[in-house]
Amino acid sequence: MKFNIQSEIIYEVVSPTTFIFNIHALRTNSQQIITESLTLNPPIDVEEFSYNSGAGRFLRLESIGNTTFSIAYSATVDTNYTVFDQRQEFQTVPVAKLDGEIIPFLFPSRYCQSDKLQKLAYKEFGSIENIYSKVLAITDWIYNNVEYVSGSTNSGTSALDTLTERVGVCRDFAHLGITLCRALSIPARYLTCYAYTLQPPDFHACFEAYIGGNWIVFDATRLVPLNSLVKIANGRDAADAAVANIFGNATSTSIKVSCELADDNFTPFWYNENVLNGFSIQ
C-alpha cells in the first residue's frame, strides 16, 4: 500500500534555539520511501543522524532568535505489512533467550513505570497463557477502562498517571500498554507514526509487543486500522521518539499533518478482526 504523508510545524523563535526533529518516515524492510522532500523556511543547515540501531531518522538544526521558523516534510511511502492470524499459537521467548537488543524494552522507563504495576498486571492478566491473547487482553482493558479525550494530558503524563486518572490520548494509551506488557516480562516499545483516516489529522502513537520473535503492533485507541500506519520511530517511550525536542526558547504556533492513500489498494484491518498487522525495523 502506498501513502502520501505530509507534516508542517511552525515556530515563533524568541532566542537562538536548537531543534531535534523526528518526522521522517523510517526506512525498513517493510517500508520503502519512494520520494521525499524537506523544506525549511528560512533555509537552515540540517544534520540527519540516528541512534538506537537506527530506530528513527533525527534532524538537528539551529535557528536564530526573533524569527518565525517552519519545517515541512512530505513523502510517498510503500508499506508491506506482515500479517499474523491471531488464532495461531505464538511461542513465548523467555528472557534468558532474548537477544541483547530486545532486553532494554523490558526495563521501566521515564513514562512506563512497569515496576510499579506488576501487582495489577498479574492480577488482571497473569492467568492468560497465550502471549498474544495476553497482550490483546491488555489492549482491550485499556480501551474499556481509559477514556480517550483530546488535550486531556500533557508531556509529563506517565502510565501511572493514566491508570489513576483513567483518561488520556494516544500517547498515554501506548505508554500504559507498554507498561503492563513489561510488568509481565513481555518486551514492548513505543511507536510514533503517520496514520491514514485519523481524525483530527495528527501524529499518532501506539505500541509494539515482542511476540514469538516478531514485533507486533497494538493500538488500544481503536482510532485507525493497523495497516494504515507509516512508521516514524520506535523507542522505550515517547522520550525516545518525540516528534520534536527544543533546546532554547521557541513556541509551536501551528502543526499540520496528513496521511492519504496514494493508490486504491487498501483493505482496512482492525485489531479485533481475525488478523493483526505489524511491521519491524529489523
pLDDT digits 0-9 by tens, 41-61:
999 999 999 887 778 999 999
Residues 104 and 66 in one domain: no
- The pLDDT mean for the chain works out to 91
Same domain, 236 and 106: yes
92 and 139 assigned to the same domain: yes
Q: Is residue 262 part of a domain?
A: no
Residue 154 reports pLDDT greater than 70: yes
97 and 157 together in one domain: yes
Q: Kindly tell me if the per-residue pLDDT of 276 is higher than 60.
A: no
Instruction: With respect to residue 247, please indicate whether it lies within any of the assigned structural domains.
Output: no
- Residue 271 in domain: yes
Q: How confident is the model at residue 271 (pLDDT cuts 50, 70, 90)?
A: low
Q: Based on the domain organization, do 20 and 53 belong to the same domain? A: yes
* 100 and 11 co-located in one domain: no
Based on the domain organization, do 116 and 59 belong to the same domain? no
Measured between its terminal Cα atoms, the distance across the chain in Å is 20
Residues 45 and 65 in one domain: yes
Question: What CATH number is given to the structural domain containing 13?
Answer: 2.60.40.2250
Same domain, 115 and 18: no
Please tell me the pTM assigned to this model.
0.93
Domain boundary among 30, 56, 79: 79
Domain that holds residue 9: 2-79
Q: Tell me, yes or no, whether 234 and 272 share the same domain.
A: yes
User: What's the rounded mean pLDDT across residues 186-215?
Assistant: 94
- Name the domain count of the chain: 2
Q: What confidence category does residue 281 fall into, taking pLDDT thresholds of 50, 70 and 90?
A: very low
